[in-house]
């Protein structure tokens, strides 16, 4: 079995693990949770829930069983049926000759063929349809319910309800005609006729309801393909109106349904109106009514048996219930005695003293008058709420708190404009000394800038830029460089023109630095973006 390596477990630990798994399968213990916080079905075998050893998984998970590679281009949206994009007032060139829409031609037009198309009448121009394209994966192309709107099924329900209503009306009319014929043949009192008519209608409606129920409770025959070859009949125990639990909410994150025990513990529709719900989960039956009392009775019997009492819930249920009832009575008495003893010892302050009305209701009868500026004229001043920290505490002779002054990205004291925390306040003298020091610094900087001598102008010399080992003292002559450039241009023109090429070539081995500079300046580099233009 290629699963993750598990540490050695003793026989006791192995037994506890088996008991925990059985409790999870029975619903008595919460299910195990994977890395993403999702519950793992306890009925999944261990060889499926445990990851392979090469994944280095430390806990059971189903991540290795899920599809990890998904197509990002896949979309679950569908065509917006019947949507229109634009409504034209007159015929446009290239539009459908029949209806006038730009999204199709006359051959693929779905409207009724007009005697005279919109191209010639220029009237009743159809709007342009909304055209969409989607890229679906393998599953999306084969999903028969992709794009289905459940609201369209309301039309089917309305059609069947209308048919049933018409059937009831028809039956009532037939019954009324029969009663009228019966009245014509027999002369009876009007009261008895009305009673017979109402009784007949009730009987007829009961017959209709009975026929509907019989349709849902039909007996189906199924041929069994067993070795004996015997056949038998199977009766449908569930009518069609009884919706299955797992169909109440199709969301994958809704309440978990256990197909083995057919149980759903949580509420599948928690946001629905409680007055409209008929199913709120299996836990509702387990935690309400006499089920909760029976559960507490079992717990009491277990605890009493562990403490040495000869009691068993299944063997002697009446005895267990009687002991549990006596236990509750004695517990209430003991709780009352404990409460009375505490009140006798410490007293009941809540019953003796009544709290002030302003504390109970959050208001008072105090009258306060204010002027137009918001100052209190008459009455006690309202106390401002204070924080748990010390307020208005000035240290080191300061008259302002730290952080009341800001300059050059630094906090300081506003009273002395110092930026050193916990420094002694120097007052206005410190401010004047700081300003004098700043003025002196600015004056020294200006004097230093004025005293600096301007550098002597350096004669610009044209140096050679070709080669990597050029001497530092190599200076080019401007006149010779210009003549070398002219010679280089003439040489290039001769190379391009075949007619001006000379047969007797004379080589000149004496190359001057000006010739090398001219050759370098006229050379075409392969990475030059302007070489094709030149």
Where do the structural domains in the chain lie, given as residue ranges? Answer: 11-65, 79-133, 152-242, 395-447, 480-522
Do 117 and 109 touch, CB atoms closer than 8 A?
no
Grade residue 328 by pLDDT with cuts at 50, 70 and 90: very high
pLDDT, position 2: 43
| CA nearest to 31, candidates 45, 43, 42, 20 | 42
| CA nearest to 60, candidates 31, 87, 88 | 31
Q: Is the pLDDT of residue 419 over 80?
A: yes
Provide the β-strand partners of residue 258. Answer: 263
As given in the structure block, the two tokens for residue 297 are 């009775």
The rounded percent of the chain whose pLDDT value lies above 70 is: 75
Q: What would the mean pLDDT of 41-46 be, rounded to a whole number? A: 87
Q: What would the mean pLDDT of 402-427 be, rounded to a whole number? A: 88
Grade residue 222 by pLDDT with cuts at 50, 70 and 90: very low
pLDDT, position 298: 92
Which residue is it, tokens 């973006």?
529
Grade residue 172 by pLDDT with cuts at 50, 70 and 90: very high
82 phi-psi bin (left φ>0, alpha ψ -120 to 50, beta other): left
Which residue is it, tokens 């460089």?
481
Q: Which range has the worst mean pLDDT, 7-11, 365-369, 389-393?
A: 365-369
Grade residue 334 by pLDDT with cuts at 50, 70 and 90: very high
Q: What would the mean pLDDT of 474-485 be, rounded to a whole number? A: 86
CA atoms within 13 Å, Cβ hemisphere of 89:
0
Do 85 and 67 touch, CB atoms closer than 8 A?
no
Which H or E run contains 406? strand 405-407
Q: Encode 324-365 in three state secondary structure.
A: HHHHHHHHHHHHHHHHHHHHHHHCCHHHHCCCCHHHHHCCCC
Q: What angle do CA 315, 317, 322 make, to 5 degrees?
A: 135
pLDDT, position 74: 66
How many angstroms separate the CA atoms of 20 and 60, rounded? 15
Q: What angle do CA 143, 144, 145 make, to 5 degrees?
A: 90
User: Which is more confident, 245 or 348?
Assistant: 245
Q: What angle do CA 455, 460, 464 make, to 5 degrees?
A: 135
Distances, alpha carbon 74 to alpha carbons 143, 217, 449, in Å: 13, 44, 71
pLDDT, position 458: 52
Do 220 and 236 touch, CB atoms closer than 8 A?
yes
pLDDT, position 231: 47
Do 255 and 281 touch, CB atoms closer than 8 A?
yes
Q: Is the pLDDT of residue 238 over 80?
A: no
Residue 377: strand, helix, or coil = strand
Distances, alpha carbon 350 to alpha carbons 288, 353, 354, 373, 509, in Å: 36, 6, 7, 43, 122
Q: Is the pLDDT of residue 57 over 80?
A: no
| Residue 500 DSSP symbol | G
pLDDT in tens, 241-288: 778 888 888 988 889 999 888 899 999 998 888 888 888 888 888 878
pLDDT, position 98: 94
Q: Which range has the worst mean pLDDT, 59-63, 116-120, 221-225?
A: 221-225
Residue 486: strand, helix, or coil = helix
As given in the structure block, the two tokens for residue 78 are 């569908």
How many angstroms separate the CA atoms of 7 and 327, rounded? 46
pLDDT, position 421: 86
pLDDT, position 202: 58
How many angstroms separate the CA atoms of 172 and 157, rounded? 23
Q: Which range has the worst mean pLDDT, 18-32, 65-79, 81-95, 481-495?
A: 65-79
Q: Cβ neighbours of residue 305 under 8 Å, at least 6 residues apart?
A: 311, 312
Do 367 and 379 touch, CB atoms closer than 8 A?
yes
């Amino acid at each position: 079995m290629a699963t993750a390596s598990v540490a050695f477990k003793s026989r006791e630990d192995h037994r506890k693990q088996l008991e925990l798994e059985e409790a999870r399968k029975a619903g008595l213990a919460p299910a195990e949770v994977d890395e993403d916080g999702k519950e793992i079905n306890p009925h999944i075998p261990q060889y499926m829930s445990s990851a392979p050893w090469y994944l280095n998984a430390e806990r059971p998970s189903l991540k290795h069983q899920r599809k990890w590679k998904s197509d990002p281009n896949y979309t679950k949206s569908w065509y917006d049926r019947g949507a229109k994009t634009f409504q034209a007032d007159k015929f446009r060139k290239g539009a459908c000759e029949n209806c006038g829409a730009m999204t199709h031609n006359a051959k693929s037009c779905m409207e009724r063929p007009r005697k005279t198309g919109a191209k010639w009448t220029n009237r009743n121009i159809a709007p342009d349809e909304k055209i969409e394209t989607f890229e679906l994966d393998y599953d999306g192309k084969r999903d028969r319910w992709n794009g289905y709107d459940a609201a369209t099924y309301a039309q089917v329900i309305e059609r069947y309800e209308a048919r049933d209503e018409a059937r009831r009306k028809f039956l009532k009319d037939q019954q009324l005609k029969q009663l009228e014929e019966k009245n014509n043949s027999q002369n009876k009192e009007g009261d008895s006729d009305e009673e017979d008519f109402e009784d007949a209608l009730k009987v007829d409606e009961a017959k209709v309801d009975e026929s509907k129920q019989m349709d849902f409770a039909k007996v189906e025959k199924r041929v069994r393909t067993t070795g004996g070859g015997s056949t038998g009949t199977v009766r449908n125990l569930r009518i069609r109106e009884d919706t299955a639990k797992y169909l109440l909410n199709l969301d994958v994150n809704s309440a978990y349904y256990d197909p083995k025990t057919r149980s759903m513990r949580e509420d599948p529709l928690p946001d629905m109106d409680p007055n409209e719900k008929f199913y709120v989960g299996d836990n509702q039956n387990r935690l309400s009514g006499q089920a909760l009392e029976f559960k507490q009775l079992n717990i009491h019997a277990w605890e009493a048996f562990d403490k040495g009492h000869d009691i068993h819930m299944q063997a002697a249920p009446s005895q267990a219930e009687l002991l549990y009832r006596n236990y509750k009575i004695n517990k209430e008495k003991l709780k009352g005695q404990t409460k009375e003893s505490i009140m006798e010892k410490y007293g009941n302050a809540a019953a003796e003293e009544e709290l002030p009305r302003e504390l109970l209701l959050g208001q008072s009868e105090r009258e306060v008058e204010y002027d137009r500026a918001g100052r209190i004229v008459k009455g006690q001043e309202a106390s401002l709420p204070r924080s748990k920290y010390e307020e208005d505490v000035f240290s080191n002779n300061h008259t302002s708190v730290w952080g009341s002054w800001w300059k050059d990205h630094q906090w300081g004291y506003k009273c002395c404009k110092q930026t050193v925390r916990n420094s002694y306040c120097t007052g206005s003298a410190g401010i004047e000394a700081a300003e004098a020091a700043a003025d002196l610094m600015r004056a020294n900087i200006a004097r230093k800038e004025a005293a600096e001598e301007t550098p002597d102008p350096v004669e610009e010399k044209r140096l050679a830029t070709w080669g990597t080992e050029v001497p530092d003292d190599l200076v080019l002559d401007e006149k010779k460089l210009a003549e070398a450039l002219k010679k280089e241009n003439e040489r290039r023109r001769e190379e391009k023109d075949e007619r001006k090429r000379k047969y007797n070539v004379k080589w000149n081995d004496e190359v001057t630095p000006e010739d090398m500079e001219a050759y370098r300046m006229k050379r075409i580099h392969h990475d030059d973006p302007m070489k094709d233009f030149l």
